[in-house]
Amino acid sequence: MNLLEKSVGGMVEGFCLIKSADARTSKNGKLYLDLTLSDRGGEISAKLWDYIPELHTGYVGGSVVKVRAAVTEWQGSKQLKVERIRLATEADGVDMSELVSSAPVSGEKLYQNLTDTVRAFSDLHLQRIVLHLLEQNKQKLLVAPAALRMHHAFLAGVLYHTSSMLACAKAVCSVYTWLDADLVFAGIILHDLAKVRELEYNDAGVPSGYTAWGNLVGHLVGGALLLENAARECGTPDELKMKLQHMVISHHGKPEHGAAVVPMFPEAEVVSHIDELDATLFQMSKTLAEVQPGECSQRAFGLDRKLYRQDKDEEYNPKLF
């Protein structure tokens, strides 16, 4: 089943994955279940209006369910009105690969791309600490999504986002040759590394929420702490450690966007801009996939604007290698 392929007024029926499920109260005081459902085709908001807590148990993030739903529209976006829902059983023989979004390149290949880049560094102290952190977090990186809902929220999403940023950075550094390319590449590889601890996700890379550590510390400060420990273990010079930590805690660009400080040297600025560019292009592509050529989308969540789809393929498909 492709949750997004049916037109408004149609019906969908089949298996899908619950990304989030929250009990809410409508304006008339009636309980309903607010769901985000997904399969390989994408995700969609859904409502179970006839929600009875005693009957509808077990519907949590990461659960596989079978649904029958009508495709409706709310504020210009498709939405499902769930008529029937049940948890999947082993007897259903559900193929998880049909339900889970993932990077179009294997996690192993993406990881190899990063390590190959690092092994070419001329700065051996930089090479040592980045390889140390990659190897220390390899198994989680092969799975970890990059976000809960916004960008690259799928299996190996951190690696895919990082690899597309790295490809962009290599082009940038070929133009601005006075930049310390090794430092830029290291900052990109490390900027989201702590997301492996920030998010809750299952073995299929499906995010379901934030960990307590993610809520209380987060991947910017958490990434700086990981670097502190790694630098001690690797004998990294203090100034190099400080620059790497700065790139991690400043990569959101502005305090109002979550940065602890603004970027204060050119390589940190480059990491911040490429991060924003890649995340924005991914979100734009995702939004435009639901818009017909020559038309505008509704105001895109996270971008705070409408988007216009040109008469061409708008798919996010960066050339990584």
- Res. 1: pLDDT tops 60: no
Residues β-bridged to residue 34: 22, 47
Show the domain range for 34. 11-98
Dist CA 139 CA 250 (whole Å): 26
On whether both 117 and 93 belong to a single domain, the answer is no
CATH number at 88 reads 2.40.50.140
Dist CA 118 CA 127 (whole Å): 6
On whether both 124 and 142 belong to a single domain, the answer is yes
Residue 41's pLDDT is: 73
Total domains, the chain: 2
Higher per-residue confidence, 303 vs 134: 134
On whether both 84 and 114 belong to a single domain, the answer is no
| Single residue among 67, 98, 129 that ends a domain in this structure | 98
| Single residue among 37, 70, 98 that ends a domain in this structure | 98
Could you give the count of Cα atoms lying within 13 Å of 239 in the half-sphere of its Cβ? 0
Residue 62's pLDDT is: 78
Q: Give pLDDT tens digits for 191-220.
A: 999 999 999 887 777 787 899 999 999 899
- 125 contacts 237 by C-beta, under 8 angstroms: yes
Residue 6's pLDDT is: 65
Residue 17's pLDDT is: 86
- Res. 48: pLDDT tops 70: yes
On whether both 83 and 126 belong to a single domain, the answer is no
User: If we measure between CA atoms, which residue out of 148, 126, 161 comes closest to residue 241?
Assistant: 126
DSSP string, 223-234: HHHHHHHHHHHH
Residues β-bridged to residue 87: 65
Dist CA 286 CA 290 (whole Å): 7
The secondary element (H helix, E strand) that includes residue 78 is strand 77-87
Q: How confident is the model at residue 57 (pLDDT cuts 50, 70, 90)?
A: confident
Q: Give pLDDT tens digits for 73-90.
A: 887 778 999 999 999 998
pTM score of the predicted model: 0.78
Q: Quickly count: other Cβ atoms within 10 Å of residue 85's Cβ.
A: 21
The proportion of the chain whose per-residue pLDDT surpasses 70, expressed as a percent, equals 98
Domain membership of residue 6 (yes or no) is no
pLDDT averaged over every residue in the chain: 89
Domain membership of residue 214 (yes or no) is yes
Dist CA 303 CA 139 (whole Å): 32
On whether both 192 and 213 belong to a single domain, the answer is yes
| Single residue among 44, 79, 98 that ends a domain in this structure | 98
What's the first-to-final CA gap in the chain, in angstroms? 32
Residue 80's pLDDT is: 93
User: If we measure between CA atoms, which residue out of 176, 166, 178, 177 comes closest to residue 120?
Assistant: 166
- 64 contacts 17 by C-beta, under 8 angstroms: yes
